[in-house]
Amino acid sequence: MQTPSLPEANHPLIKSLSHYSDQELLTLLQRHPDAGQYFTALYCRYSPLVYTLIRHSARSPMQADYLFSITWRHLFHELLGLDLSTPGVTLQSWIINVTALCINQAELPPAEDIHYSLEASPPPLQCYVERSLDQVSPSQRLMIVMAQTFRWSEPRIAAYLQAEGEHITAAGVKAQLQAGYERLETALPEDIRAIYLAGGKLEAHLHGQQRAQTTTEA
């Protein structure tokens, strides 16, 4: 299992942060939680270390990528409130400890049950998309989860909602999904859109993620 490539590390926004120390990046992340570049810079800096630790405990590349994603999502939430003032504690040692904790506590599904593509859904983008879901209406959020997590078609989503008493057609689901994706994209930090979407639409990116997952499974 090779360490994953990090194309975002070559983005000008991330390259411009390369001279910052760990503490400086952490401080910037905590002071500017609506900016994604500082977390992404830390992700690029420490991903090789995290993945190296993880790949020795995973039985397959799919499980390694999945655990890598889970670990960075955990790191993301913890970093926002992390205090490194304790003597002898560095960001690197803290990341190693948290990664070890995630490895020891993880209950990984079989590789054939994992529907995740690290290349299509890098952890920083995934973290900010999940956070931005709070800005989407509950009904649209449910449809997005059905479409992206369970990969349900619009007719199947409509059938489920109809069984729950909702009056909606497949065309209505499609319209609501499109509106939800647009709202979700708007809620993303501007720098995350610049780094990962490159002028494209989030909806197209998510559909590309589904295609990548299907290709991987095949």
Instruction: Please give the model's pTM, rounded to 2 decimal places.
Output: 0.88
How many CB atoms sit inside 10 A of residue 7's CB?
A: 13
Buried b / exposed e over 29-64, threshold 16 CB at 10 Å, is beeeeebbbbbbbbbbbbbeebbebbbebbeeebbb
In single-letter form, the type of residue at position 162 comes to Q
212 pLDDT higher than 60: no
Phi and psi angles of residue 212, each rounded to the nearest 5 degrees, phi first:
-65, -40
pLDDT in tens, 45-103: 999 999 999 998 888 889 999 999 999 999 999 999 999 988 889 999 999 999 999 99
pLDDT in tens, 16-55: 999 999 999 999 999 999 999 999 999 999 999 999 999 9
In single-letter form, the type of residue at position 21 comes to S
pLDDT in tens, 160-204: 999 999 999 999 999 999 999 999 999 999 999 999 998 667 876
More reliable by pLDDT, 141 or 86: 141
The pLDDT value given to residue 88: 87
Buried b / exposed e over 112-151, threshold 16 CB at 10 Å, is eebbbbbebbbbbbbbbbebbbeebeeebbbbbebbbeee
The pLDDT value given to residue 216: 42
Q: Tell me, which fold does domain 123-217 have in CATH?
A: Arc Repressor Mutant, subunit A (1.10.10)
Q: Tell me, which fold does domain 7-113 have in CATH?
A: Rna Polymerase Sigma Factor; Chain: A (1.10.1740)
The pLDDT value given to residue 148: 85
Domain residue extents for the chain: 7-113, 123-217
The pLDDT value given to residue 209: 56
